Amino acid sequence: MRDERRLIGQLQGQGLLSDLDVYFADILLQKSDQPSELLALAAAMASRATNEGHVCFDLNEMADRPLNGLDGQVIASVPSLNDWSVQLHQSGVVGTPGEHQPLILDASGRLYLHRYWEYEHRLGFLLDERAARQASNVDEAVLQTSLKQLFPNTSDEIDWQKQAAATAVLRRLSVISGGPGTGKTTTVMRLLALLRQQPGGEALRFALAAPTGKAAARLQETIQQSHDSHLAPMGSLPELASTLHRLLGVRHGSTGFVHNRDNPLALDVLVLDEASMVPVALMAKLLEALPDSARLILLGDKDQLASVEAGAVLGDICSGYRGPTPHFAEQLQRTTGQSPPPDSSDPRALADSVVVLKKSYRFDSASPIGRLASAVNTGNFKQAWELLEEGGAASQIRRIPVNDDTAKLAAGRYAKIFEMIEKGAAPSEIFASLNDSRVLCALHQGPDGVIAINRRIEAELRSRGYITGDSRWFQGRPVLVTRNSYGLGLYNGDIGITLPNPQAGGEISVVFPMADGSFRWIAPARLPEHQTVFAMTVHKSQGSEFNEVLLQLPARDNPLLTRELLYTAITRARSRFLISTEQEVFRALVHRQLRRSSGLAEVLWQ
């Protein structure tokens, strides 16, 4: 056994494998009929891949080439894909798709932990099955009339919101992807109204959900604040949103949910926002829990960061879309008066479920932020860097040299919050100021990571006299909740501010805004896991918007820095985007795309 562990032991010693990866490999070595170094390596890499967000480990990335350590020295030579695959299949713990073995190796060289192959296989089947079915009992004449009322656009340009709304009525599955400002929420409000107008629409059971508590609260708040005179005659619409976990029903101590294939959800229409954040395992369990007759409407931005956990489901779903089938294009033309050009290459049924919103109502073609986001999203480094260099102090976008202290700049933004507290401003005014500007970090650890930046901002505020005393519960401390607490009604991503509670004689508490406009005061000792949030990671910012964003990039490149991370950070800004970076690090981000190893796109489109 010692010889078989030599290679993974070296990789673990250099920090390239975790204790968990090695432990998993050890278990398979003990179970194997023919244990080997290459089995241990494959098992450990499959474990590491899922922890890094991949659904599988692609053997092609390592096969038939030398394996180097951190010092560049060759540790081993990995055989060809065919030879490696043969040895794995002879181990007795690696099976082919459909077999019940700890590891599953498919014909393309993708190696899965069995449960992740099962999640991907089930999800692909359920999405394909739902996409293949049109909705029943749709009155096209009513739909045509309602569409004219809700989307009165007379332009010759395709109204993508109208296309998305019609698709959601006509199909059991609809996937609506669009960047910030493309009107996803407006589209949802109107398509729900269209469904109310259909025969039996008043009896439909709706549900609104999102992957995190913060995203659910924001969806709920946005819908409650939406006002559209076109919707008045359409009947009542849902306003309450929940997390996916709450919707499915958490079973403590179990990875399963109350609602599943044997106990489906009692609903007819589910709208899932921020779908890009949903991992493959959770999406598979959701699809299983949906009744066959229900409509599923997925909303999100396919170009944003993928889920923290394994999978890039929304990106995989949208990856093969080139236009609707000719048959569905005719139906869209009949009901909406317009249709995207059909895909003439005999596309899969999923093509009739996908709509990409292309017009931004927040950023016009001349908007510096919109142009920067577009340049980054298309990998155009030259244009993106020129936009940053052209920006001046009064511009919407500006580059800050890395030798400038961004903590001092950020502290100047937060100083006004402390001044407002001193003057006795209401919580609503303080939160408005807090959400006006936010520092985002690309990484959690390191000298330019979120932990270090938060400490530097706090130290700067202390040096200016805004924070006094040794208590970490100082007035004005912004707090980010990092774990859901259903009992308190607080969720991962919620942000509160530490203030004297007038309802408790001025005792220090953390106040959180609620979706209905009220505020909830929580004693610090009762809070779930949390952290200071002068700055937050780009991942945590998903689903949020700020008037001004200051993005702190590290001084050196890092494999975790990707185009999707940069695009997500830029599109959090409504009015102004500042970035602390040097040219080479920025170039690396624009050119490096997030690649999640997965077979889902192939299952869905090929």
The rounded distance, in Å, linking the Cα atoms of 324 and 371 is 28
In this structure, how many other beta carbons lie within 10 angstroms of the beta carbon of residue 388? 21
The rounded distance, in Å, linking the Cα atoms of 536 and 54 is 24
For 540-558, b/e burial (b = at least 16 CB within 10 A) is bbbbbbbebbbbbbbeebb
The rounded distance, in Å, linking the Cα atoms of 43 and 49 is 10
182 is in an annotated binding site: yes
The rounded distance, in Å, linking the Cα atoms of 206 and 261 is 19
581 is in an annotated binding site: no
Closest by alpha carbon to 74, among 62, 57, 86? 62
Cβ-based neighbours of 268, under 8 Å, separated by 6 or more: 204, 205, 206, 291, 293, 294, 295
96 is in an annotated binding site: no
Length of the chain in terms of residues written? 606
181 is in an annotated binding site: yes
382 is in an annotated binding site: no
- Do the strands 530-532 and 535-537 form a parallel or antiparallel pair, or are they unpaired? unpaired
Tell me the CA end-to-end span of the chain in Å, nearest whole number.
41
179 is in an annotated binding site: yes
- Tokens 């899922």 locate to 50
The rounded distance, in Å, linking the Cα atoms of 285 and 445 is 33
Cβ-based neighbours of 419, under 8 Å, separated by 6 or more: none
Tell me if residue 257 falls in helix, strand or coil: strand
The rounded distance, in Å, linking the Cα atoms of 143 and 169 is 8
Tell me if residue 492 falls in helix, strand or coil: coil
Alpha helices per DSSP H over 337-439? 368-377, 381-390, 406-422, 427-434
Q: What are the E-state strand segments in 223-331?
A: 241-243, 269-272, 295-300
Q: What are the E-state strand segments in 406-517?
A: 437-441, 478-481, 495-501, 507-513
> What is the secondary structure of 202-242 as a DSSP string?
GG--EEEEESSHHHHHHHHHHHHH---GGGGGG------EE
183 is in an annotated binding site: yes
Tell me if residue 443 falls in helix, strand or coil: coil
The three-state DSSP-derived secondary structure of 544-591 is CCEEEEEEECCCCCCCCCCHHHHHHHHCCEEEEEEEECCHHHHHHHHH
180 is in an annotated binding site: yes
Tell me if residue 415 falls in helix, strand or coil: helix
Cβ-based neighbours of 414, under 8 Å, separated by 6 or more: 457, 461, 466, 476, 534
- Do the strands 241-243 and 269-272 form a parallel or antiparallel pair, or are they unpaired? unpaired
Binding residues for ATP: 178-185
Binding residues: 178-185
